[in-house]
Structure 1
Amino acid sequence: MRETSVTDTTANDAPLPGEQGPGEQGHDPATVFTDSEIAGLFLDAARDGQTDLIESFLAAGIDPDLRDARGYSALLLAAYNSHAETVACLLAHRATVDLQDGKGSTALAGVAFKGDLAVARQLVAAGAAIDAPNHVGRTPLIFATMFNRAPIVAFLLEHGANPDHRDGEGNSARLVAERQGQAAIMALMPPRGRADGPHPRH
């Protein structure tokens, strides 16, 4: 899918979804927005979980993968802020589930950091890559372990996350858990050498 920036929107000086366009009867010039403003409103709506407004933008033809200068897409923002309904809406409109932000993190990495299991399930069901690393090699499992998100750790391991993948600093989820004394998370880890597939809990 073509990468899209905040300047790639529906049309120059387009009205907000649901508003009348230039030249239409009753048009109020105050409702006309630039591409950049439209992009900002769309991404703000995703951040705030305004699903109805997101639906209107998408119906008007805005790209669901539009991103801001930091690489944050609507899906990344909605997922990070735990707006499950907005996440579902964006996924239904084919938002790219593994689109990376400027640091290489995916929506699943953000959710792993925050610890929202319900949204993590949504993303994985939509095909999110379990072990997608960011630009320094950190995977969602490493983030979940760093911030002691045991339910997310268990979920990711069940779906085949590799606890021995090392980031650019040589850290793996297993090593982080050992170093931080996270006994509950260590108990979830498969034995070394057996981290190559799903590991359901019993």
Structure 2
Amino acid sequence: MHDDIHHEAWRDRVVPALLDAVREGDVAEVRRWLADGLPANWQDVEGCSLIFLAAYHRQWAVVDCLLAGGASVDLPDRRGWTPFFWAAFNGHADIVSFLIGRGASPDARNEDGEWPLFWAVYKGHTSVVRHLLVGGAKRNQLDAEGHDELWLAQTLGRQDIVAILEGPRARHTNRHVRNSPNETM
């Protein structure tokens, strides 16, 4: 656990009303709790933070409120999943885009060494792949077996994602092949 979170001290004090306020987007109630001393990085026993809960329920104003109160957009749960990782895994491009705009790391790895782009490719979330790449996700990261996301997309036959991952490089390579001096007509 993170010593700076002090979630244990708040375990008995956080009531369902606060969690409901986060889920429902009641920024005033969330601010009241923060003003009363609730750490912005409070986590439940599974490590689920308030910012994770707010992102899950697409409560953008609550996310911003928590960030203004000092919450970390990249605070992981006990499995190493950040709100951003969860959104990419589940194909929620709107959340991915929002969290990138709030400084989330597009390359954070969980405790199993997995990263958002690899999972987005695996699950076929084309729009998430686009948002990740625009948001600065690194390409060509390798998993434990030495495979990158392009290999995965090719292996799974996700041609739309292969085209995105290859991007201009593929068009340039194809143009070069067509114009080679060894080409016969």
Report TM bin, short chain.
0.7 to 0.9
Residues 1:87 and 2:88 are matched in the alignment: no
CA positional deviation for 1:55: 2.3
1:157 alignment counterpart: 133
Residue segments in structure 1 that go unaligned for 5+ positions in a row: 10-34, 195-202
Contact 2:91 2:120 (C-alpha < 8 Å) held by counterparts: yes
Alignment length (residue pairs)? 168
**1:119-158 paired onto structure 2 within 5 Å:** 119-158=95-134
- Per mean C-alpha deviation after superposition, the further-off stretch among 53-62 and 42-51 is 42-51
* TM norm structure 2: 0.76
Residues 6, 39 of structure 1: 8 Å contact kept? no
Distance 1:151 1:58, change over 3 A: same
The answer to whether the 8 A contact 1:144-1:150 is kept is yes
* TM norm structure 1: 0.71
Q: Distance in 1 between matches of 2:24 and 2:98?
A: 18
Give me the whole-angstrom Cα distance separating, in 1, the residues matched to 2:16 and 2:143. Answer: 33
SS in 2 for 1:76: helix
Q: Relative to 1, partners in 2 of residues 1:150 and 1:59: Cα closer, same or farther, differing over 3 Å? A: same
Question: Does 2:150 correspond to 1:174?
Answer: yes
Between the aligned partners of 1:140 and 1:71, the Cα distance in structure 2 is 19
- What corresponds to 2:42 in structure 1? 66
Residue 117 of structure 1 aligns with an amino acid whose one-letter code is A
Deviation at 1:100, TM superposition (A): 0.8
Aligned counterpart, 1:106: 82
Looking at secondary structure, tell me which structure has more helix per residue: 2
In structure 1, C-alpha distance between the alignment counterparts of 2:115 and 2:126, rounded to whole Å: 15
More displaced 10-residue stretch of structure 1: 74-83 or 42-51: 42-51
Q: Among 69, 72, 77, which residue is 1:96 paired with?
A: 72
Q: Provide the secondary structure at the position in 1 that maps to 2:14.
A: helix
Residues 176-202 of structure 1 deviation map (CA, whole Å, 9 limit, x = unaligned): 3222221111111036x99xxxxxxxx
**Counterpart Cα distance in 1 of 2:60 and 2:51:** 10
Show structure 2 runs of 5+ residues with no match: 171-185
Q: Distance in 2 between matches of 1:102 and 1:5?
A: 15
